[in-house]
Amino acid sequence: MGKTVTRKIQKVGNGSYSFVIPKSWIKRNGVKPQDIITVEEMDYALVIRPAMSRPAMSNLSIDIFTDNANLDLTIREVLSAYLDGCTLVNIQSKEQLVPDFIQKLRQSVIELTIGLEVVDESRTGITLQEIVSKPVMNFNGIANRMYRITLDMLKVSIRAVLERSEEDAESVIRTDVDVDKFYLYGIRTLNMTINDRVLMKEIGVERPEEALIMKSILKSIERIADHAVSISRLVVNKFPINEFFSEKMGMKSVKAFDKAFESLITLDEIKANNLILENRNTVKEMVSTYTMLTEHLVRIVEYSSDICENVIDLKISRKIRRELLSAD
């Protein structure tokens, strides 16, 4: 985040006001006398940028130094750079990287990111570059894709438990990477809106504060998918299932998630609040027959309630924005 400075407003003529723009900003953006700037009103803030400037994140790059002993750390650093909006990642090593290191790194990048591809590779380094420079999905599109995959994972995991189907359980475990991919893409996209107000509108973010709420929603969906995987692992590992477990109990968690997402799409705070109250009773019922399986079902219901709370937060945020605009 840039430094904060204070300026005094000066009156110019009969109806205009002015203030001095920081010299450091002028130098950093290459602005000269007589250049045109754009001034965008954002509630109580003004966003000032050179009229011909390129997006702040369009050429962001990073060098990551690694060796054969730090594969996991390197993968995490690449993903962190991806989330932060980097378009070019140079991975360098003083020693030759073993083929297994390169293969696993490539596989992880391909599986977990959208638009980031290997454009150069040698035994001492790999260069990753963003091929798709502009997000092609808005928040609702990303959340909807995650929801559909996760909902199917939940249903299949419940079926796997009831039928003791290891095949179904394995399919759920394999599918989890798709949810992770869209989750990381969604977080990256929301992070990029901080530096691009035009993109913020395209993504469907009305106020900067909404990005935090939307990140929380995506995280809840991602965690629900993780619990579907955990349920499936119980089947794969032949964990004994409590005799009190039934399809009805399993489907209650599925319906809680389904209804939570419906309240998100409609931004219906009344429906969201009612579901939170309903979920409390569902949790009480489930914990009365506590097992490792019901623990995962309880977490799914609780994360669904978290989504509902975020829906209420989002609705209030937009109500505040409308009142601010109407006050002007």
Domains detected in the chain:
10-50 (2.10.260), 61-130 (3.30.110.10), 139-327 (1.20.58.220)
Residues whose CB is less than 8 angstroms from the CB of residue 131 and which lie 6 or more positions away in sequence, other chains included: 115, 116, 117
Dmax (CA) for the chain in angstroms is 82
pLDDT of residue 219: 98
How much helix, strand and coil, in percent to the nearest 5, is found in the chain? 60, 15, 25
User: H or E segment at 155?
Assistant: helix 139-163
Entry pTM: 0.81
- Let me know: does 91 contact 124? Beta carbons within 8 Å: no
Q: Which residues pair with 120 in a beta bridge?
A: 127
Paired sense of beta strands 61-66 and 88-93, if any: parallel
pLDDT of residue 291: 84
**pLDDT truncated to tens, each residue of the chain (328 aa)?**
456 778 788 777 666 778 788 887 777 677 777 677 777 666 557 777 775 544 444 578 999 999 999 999 999 999 999 999 898 999 999 999 999 999 999 999 999 999 899 999 998 999 999 886 667 789 999 999 999 999 999 999 999 999 999 999 999 999 999 999 999 999 999 998 876 777 888 899 988 889 999 999 999 999 999 999 999 999 999 988 766 788 899 999 999 999 999 999 999 999 999 999 999 999 998 888 778 899 999 999 999 999 999 999 999 988 887 877 666 5
pLDDT of residue 92: 95
DSSP three-state, residue 296: helix
Residue 263, number of CB atoms within 10 A of its CB:
24
DSSP three-state, residue 101: helix
Which of 182, 175, 185 is closest to 229 using CA atoms?
A: 175
- Let me know: does 157 contact 150? Beta carbons within 8 Å: no
- Let me know: does 169 contact 157? Beta carbons within 8 Å: yes
Q: Which amino acid is at 1?
A: M
Q: How far apart are the first and last CA of the chain?
A: 29
Q: Which two structure tokens, joined as six digits, stand for 208?
A: 């900067």
CA of 162: how far to CAs of 43, 84, 115, 242, 293, in Å? 53, 42, 39, 11, 12
DSSP three-state, residue 41: strand
pLDDT of residue 263: 97
- Let me know: does 274 contact 293? Beta carbons within 8 Å: no
Rg of the chain over CA atoms, in angstroms?
24
DSSP three-state, residue 171: helix
CA distance 205 to 273: 22
> In what order do the strands lie in the sheet containing 116-122?
61-66, 88-93, 125-130, 116-122
Q: Which two structure tokens, joined as six digits, stand for 35?
A: 């250049």
Strands (E), the chain: 10-12, 16-18, 37-42, 45-50, 61-66, 88-93, 116-122, 125-130
